[in-house]
């Protein structure tokens, strides 16, 4: 295919012969093309080598080997099938199960959160709300602190590199520091619960949003700012009246994008000790409770889709199609 269309393959170009200079250019061009193909081949070879090396290494250091485990891949899926389809709904809404035998597997009504004597929140809904709350509160706090910090890191708002540099480095550190270490550290101090997860997600969010925010600020239109400076506005007034109205739609768009990410992040951190739905999922998978696992997966799936759709709709309203340009 490539040889039919690739202009380098023209041996006799349309019956006309090239002049001496033309041939020189043609030769040189051919040489460059060969060189380019050579480099492509080399990088492909390196990539393939790295890939197969990595695969071998991964397989070698895994506790189960890929080809041994492959036929059993769907055993686990079979294990996941509950005794009847209604079990999933019973697990989801904490209804009593006909198979209840005293074990943890079918004790769906156990986890109910009673509001009044008869009205209750099913356990997994409560845990899902907990995880969502972790995500929302940490995105909110991260948004506020990141927004404040980003104005100190933007080139067009702070001329002094001694303020800008530390602000940027600080955000870089917050962003790069593994969330799991923050969560683990605060788990050690605060004991198990959602607060370590909130702190970990918040700290990461400050760094991540702060970076996006100061880039938005640096791309802002400076004319309102000039106007305010001309009438002698203070730094805070310049930020509040010239910058904030311009950047707010983008800020909120990034806030929503981050919220989507944080819902997932707080689920994962929950699984390693931060509470919420993630912990329930890990427990029920490791204990082999099929109906509970399916109920949680279903709930998580629906919630994540709902959050994504809501955030996409809001972002489209706020900043239009621009919000959906790929992150590059």
Cβ proximity to other proteins: between 95 and 282 the closer is 282
Q: How far is the CB of 23 from other proteins (least distance, A)?
A: 26
CA neighbours closer than 13 Å in the CB half-sphere of residue 304: 14
Question: Closer CB to other proteins, residue 95 or residue 112?
Answer: 112
3-state secondary structure of 304: helix
For other proteins, the closer CB: 122 or 278: 278
* Residue closer to other proteins, measured from CB, 73 or 119: 73
Minimum CB distance to other proteins, residue 265 (Å): 8
Least separation in angstroms between CB 129 and other proteins:
9
State how far Cα 202 lies from the chain centre. 14
Shortest CB 125 distance to other proteins, Å: 14
Which residue number, 95 or 180, has a Cβ lying nearer to other proteins?
180
**Binding stretches for other proteins (CB under 8 A):** 1-2, 4-5, 47, 50-51, 54-55, 57-59, 61-64, 66, 69, 72-73, 76, 130, 133, 136-137, 140, 144, 176-181, 184-185, 187-191, 193-195, 198, 264-265, 267-269, 271-272, 278, 281-282, 285, 297, 300-301, 304-305, 308, 324, 326-328
Give the tokens for residue 51. 């890939």
Nearest in space to 210 (alpha carbons), one of 264, 148, 256: 148
Q: State which residue, 95 or 261, has the beta carbon closest to other proteins.
A: 261
- Asked if residue 33 lies in contact with residue 8, where contact means CB atoms within 8 angstroms, the answer is yes
Token pair listed for 205: 């969010």
* Closest distance to other proteins from the beta carbon of 266 (Å): 10
Q: Which is nearer to other proteins, 193 or 249 (CB)?
A: 193
Closest CA to 295 of 12, 86, 103, 62: 86
Task: Give one DSSP letter per residue of 192-258, joined into a string.
Answer: SSHHHHHHHHHHHHHHHHHHHHHHHHHTS--HHHHHHHHTT--HHHHIIIIIHHHHHHHHHHHHHHH
- Closest approach of other proteins to the CB of residue 102, in Å: 25
Tell the smallest beta-carbon distance from residue 100 to other proteins (Å): 25
95 vs 314 by CB, closer to other proteins = 314
Closest contact distance (angstroms) between CB of 267 and other proteins is: 5
CB-CB contact of 300 with 281 (8 Å): yes
- Nearest one of 260, 269, 264 to 199, comparing CA atoms: 269
User: Cα(180)–Cα(177) distance, rounded to whole angstroms?
Assistant: 9
Task: Say how far apart CA 211 and CA 178 lie, in whole Å.
Answer: 17
């Amino acid at each position: 295919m490539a040889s039919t269309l690739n202009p380098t393959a023209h041996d006799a170009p349309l019956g006309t012969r090239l002049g001496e200079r033309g041939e020189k250019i043609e030769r040189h061009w051919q040489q460059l093309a060969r060189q380019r193909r050579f480099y492509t081949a080399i990088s492909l070879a390196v990539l393939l080598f790295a890939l197969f090396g990595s695969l071998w290494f991964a397989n070698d250091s895994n506790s189960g080997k890929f080809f041994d485990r492959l036929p059993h891949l769907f055993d686990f899926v079979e294990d996941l099938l509950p005794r009847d389809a209604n079990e999933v709904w019973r697990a989801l809404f904490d209804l009593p199960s006909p198979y209840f035998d005293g074990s943890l597997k079918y004790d769906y009504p156990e986890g109910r959160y009673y509001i009044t004597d008869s009205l209750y929140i099913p356990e997994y809904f409560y845990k899902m709300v907990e995880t969502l709350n972790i995500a929302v509160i940490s995105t909110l706090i991260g948004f506020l602190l990141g927004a404040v910090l980003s104005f100190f890191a933007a080139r067009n708002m702070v001329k002094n590199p001694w303020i800008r540099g530390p602000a940027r480095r600080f955000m870089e550190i917050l962003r790069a520091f593994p969330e799991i270490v923050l969560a683990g550290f605060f788990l050690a101090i605060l004991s198990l619960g959602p607060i370590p997860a909130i702190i970990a997600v918040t700290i990461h969010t400050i760094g991540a949003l702060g970076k996006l925010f100061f880039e938005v600020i640096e791309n802002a239109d400076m004319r309102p700012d000039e106007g305010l400076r001309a009438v002698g506005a203070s730094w805070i007034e310049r930020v509040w009246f010239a910058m904030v109205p311009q950047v707010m739609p983008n800020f909120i768009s990034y806030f929503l994008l981050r919220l989507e990410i944080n819902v997932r992040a707080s689920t994962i951190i929950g699984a390693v000790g931060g509470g919420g739905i993630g912990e329930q999922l890990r427990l029920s998978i490791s204990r082999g409770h099929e109906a509970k696992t399916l109920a949680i997966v279903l709930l998580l799936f629906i919630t994540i889709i709902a959050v994504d759709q809501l955030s996409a709709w809001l972002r489209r309203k706020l900043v239009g199609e621009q919000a959906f340009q790929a992150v590059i």
